[in-house]
């Protein structure tokens, strides 16, 4: 099936968020160490970014490392951080040439120094690009993000009666991004795992059994087609939507 051909170019989501899951299981299926799955997952990132750019998605947020992932074995955590640094260095020229703006959400203070500095350099270098924003969620969790937002609101002495939903949105890490219209999770798990809890309030959720290293352009287009067949009601009735 050629999913790309079926996409309605007038109804492409502005923001797609992805929980890239299943690297470890994919590697085990090949009789390899979990980290081999993470290495292979980079190809899926490249393919997804290419497909998203191709159809005009403006923001692509990838959940790369959660707050809870710090509890994994040290060896795996170190290998993931190492992979992150090397991938940024290797891909930066191409990202920049393709008009990709690299951005990040999460607790950057937690990242090892070399990770943080390479990431910052890449974000600075691509800051003026506007083809698509690639937003990496690193050491990110929604509860951490919301807790930080509450702290900032209190520190700014904002009066309770002046606090609206917009106040909260504007104090989240995603303040400059629209909410994702679509959230994709690979590997068959059907949960949010502390990802963008506030921002996903009205997102369409798409779950696929495909393990992340096997995800590719065609799988991305398939998810977009599925999204385009949904009716987004935002609490209204079907009749109101059609009218």
Question: HSE (CB half, 13 Å, CA atoms) of 24?
Answer: 8
CB of 28 to ligand IPE, least distance (A): 8
Q: Counting contacts by CB under 5 A, is residue 213 touching Mg ion?
A: no
Sheet harboring 59-66: ordered strands across? 100-105, 132-140, 59-66, 15-19, 182-185, 204-207
CB of 24 to Mg ion, least distance (A): 6
Q: Closer to Mg ion by CB, 21 or 214: give it.
A: 21
Q: List the x/- string, 166-205, binding to ligand IPE by CB under 6 A.
A: ---------------------x-x-x-x------------
**Residue of 21, 23, 179, 214 with catalytic role:** 21
Burial status of residue 201 (CB atoms within 10 A of its CB: 0-12, 13-18, 19 or more): exposed
CB of 160 to ligand IPE, least distance (A): 34
**Site stretch for ligand IPE (CB under 6 A), options 61-69, 117-125, 144-152, 160-168:** 61-69
21 in catalytic set:
yes
Distance of alpha carbon 88 from alpha carbon 92, whole angstroms: 6
Nearest-5° angle of CA 114, CA 119, CA 122? 130
DSSP 109: G
97 in catalytic set:
no
Q: For residue 71, count other CB atoms closer than 10 A to its CB.
A: 8
CB of 143 to ligand IPE, least distance (A): 13
Distance of alpha carbon 120 from alpha carbon 102, whole angstroms: 9
> 198 to 237, contacts with ligand IPE by CB under 6 A?
212
Question: HSE (CB half, 13 Å, CA atoms) of 53?
Answer: 18
**Residue of 54, 69, 98, 216 with catalytic role:** 69
Smallest CA-to-CA distance from 27 within 15, 35, 18, 19 is with 35
Q: Counting contacts by CB under 5 A, is residue 21 touching Mg ion?
A: yes
64 binds, among Mg ion, ligand IPE, none (CB under 5 to 8 A by kind): ligand IPE
Kind plus residue range of the DSSP H or E element containing 216: none
Q: Counting contacts by CB under 6 A, is residue 65 touching ligand IPE?
A: yes
Task: Give contact residues for ligand IPE (rule: CB under 6 A).
Answer: 19-25, 63-66, 69, 80, 187, 189, 191, 193, 212
Q: Which residues are catalytic?
A: 21, 69
């Amino acid at each position: 099936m050629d999913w790309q051909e079926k996409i309605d170019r007038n109804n492409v989501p502005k923001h797609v968020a992805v929980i890239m899951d299943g690297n470890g299981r994919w590697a085990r299926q090949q009789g390899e160490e979990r980290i081999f799955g993470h290495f292979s997952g980079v190809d899926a990132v490249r393919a997804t970014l290419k497909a998203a750019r191709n159809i005009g998605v403006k923001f692509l947020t990838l959940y790369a490392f959660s707050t809870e992932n710090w509890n994994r074995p040290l060896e795996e955590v170190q290998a993931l951080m190492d992979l992150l640094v090397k991938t940024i260095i290797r891909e930066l020229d191409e990202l920049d040439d393709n008009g990709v703006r690299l951005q990040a959400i999460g607790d950057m203070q937690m990242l090892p120094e070399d990770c943080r500095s390479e990431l910052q350099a890449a974000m600075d270098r691509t800051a003026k690009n506007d083809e698509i924003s690639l937003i990496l969620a690193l050491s990110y969790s929604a509860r951490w993000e919301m807790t930080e937002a509450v702290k900032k609101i209190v520190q700014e002495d904002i009066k309770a009666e002046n606090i609206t939903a917009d106040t909260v949105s504007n104090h989240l890490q995603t303040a400059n991004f629209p909410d994702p219209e679509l959230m994709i999770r690979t590997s068959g798990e059907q949960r949010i795992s502390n990802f963008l809890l506030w921002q996903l309030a009205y997102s369409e959720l798409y779950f696929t059994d495909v393990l992340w290293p096997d995800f590719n352009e065609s799988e991305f287009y398939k998810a977009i087609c599925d999204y385009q067949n949904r009716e987004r009601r935002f609490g209204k009735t079907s009749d109101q939507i059609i009218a």
